[in-house]
Amino acid sequence: MRPLLTIGMFAQAARLSPKALRLYDELGLLRPAAVDGESGYRFYDPAQLERARLIAWLRRLGMPLARIRRVCELPAPAAAAEIAGYWEQVLAETAARGQLATFLVDYLAGRGSPVEMSATMLGIRYAARSETGLVRTSNEDTAYAGPRLLAVADGVRGPGGDLASAAAVEALRPLETLAVPAEDLLGVLAEAVEEADRAIGQLAASSPEGSAVTTLTALLWSGSRLALVHIGDTRAYLVRDGELFQITHDHTFVQSLVDEGRLTLEEAASHPQRSLLIRALTGTGGVQPDLSLHEAVAGDRYLLCSDGLSAVVPAESLCEALTGSEGPQQVLEELVTRAYAAGAPDNIACVVADVIGLEASADPGRDGGRGR
């Protein structure tokens, strides 16, 4: 048996103060291994260091002690999920406070009014999922959902496709914690996409084939406004008042033929070159995504997806699944089920997000998660 450590020695090893250790003892978070019956002096087993350090790290995250106790009692996978859920909640609350701060700054600077505040205090509930499908042996799709950013990317099949899609989404993720005024949304998002293209260029340079390609569709939120960036054949849909609207335009060879009147939509659906892209992130610079600004309304529902969903599930079926009363996670499950029922010949990535009034919910934020 290893010798016990005094409270001072244990505090130094755990990078905690003796005062904090005494508090954790009183709260039942970290009991000493032994207590001297006469002096009341506490002693700790070196095996307790791991739990002590976990508690310290969680405190640095700002997690309340009661929630830390719950995390410490869970097995590792469940504890990880609990921590992830807590951090998503922090991000959602931070975004809400950021919206309020922006409103107050604008209002006090004479650029806003109390009426605008109620209009901008919106949040989202969201879920993300990515599946391999029934035919593919690898998954090049990436789906991400957070309090301010939604994104789907579909890497072109082959070596590096999965890395390209992941790199594109990863380049946008810093926008989650960046305070962006609504009027700067499009510019900031465009810069992030350029950074994504540079990251893909680095991937291409290090790959034996010398190439890496992905599509990207993403939404970035600020108040009641959202910026949309789109390149390729991943899609964004809006459901408003029970109607489904496709708010992106495919950058494919077949879609260009439809636009020119040389193909019908029915012919395009079965065309042998329907997956041939004419615009995508290739890492070669000069990226030309579509950028647009939209006003969100409480009750709106957004779907971002790869063509593994949109190419096999008809718009009518998408609308039926999206207009139900279930939450984002349940809707995702239904959409993936419908893609599988249609054969799921490709990877499936999708994000569903509901726009809510923040005053209508004490816990805006994640309904599901993210995936690759």
* Residue, of 272 and 69, whose pLDDT is higher: 69
Q: pTM higher than 0.75 for the full model?
A: no
76: buried, middle or exposed (CB in 10 Å: 19+, 13-18, 0-12)? exposed
| Pick from 160-169, 193-202, 240-249, 361-370: least confident | 361-370
pLDDT tens track for 134-169: 888 788 999 999 989 999 999 987 667 889 999 999
Cα gap 314→299, rounded to integer Å: 23
DSSP string, 75-90: -HHHHHHHHHHHHHHH
Query: For residue 38, what pLDDT is reported?
Result: 84
- In the chain, where the domains are located: 5-72, 76-115, 123-360
Tell me the angle at which helices 18-26 and 7-14 cross, rounded to the nearest 10 degrees: 100
- Over residues 255-282, the mean pLDDT reads 79
3-class state of residue 125 by DSSP = strand
Q: Per-residue pLDDT for 360 more than 70?
A: no
For the stretch 273-323, pLDDT in tens is 777 898 999 998 878 899 998 888 899 999 999 999 999 999 999 999 999
Above 50 in pLDDT, residue 206?
Answer: yes
Contact present, 279 and 248 (Cβ < 8 Å): no
CATH number of 123-360: 3.60.40.10
Residue 85 confidence (pLDDT) above 60: yes
Which residues have C-beta within 8 Å of that of residue 170, sequence separation ≥ 6? 199
Domain covering 5-72 assigned CATH 1.10.1660.10 in the classification? yes
Pick the residue with more confidence: 327 or 361? 327
Matching fold, domains 5-72 and 123-360? no
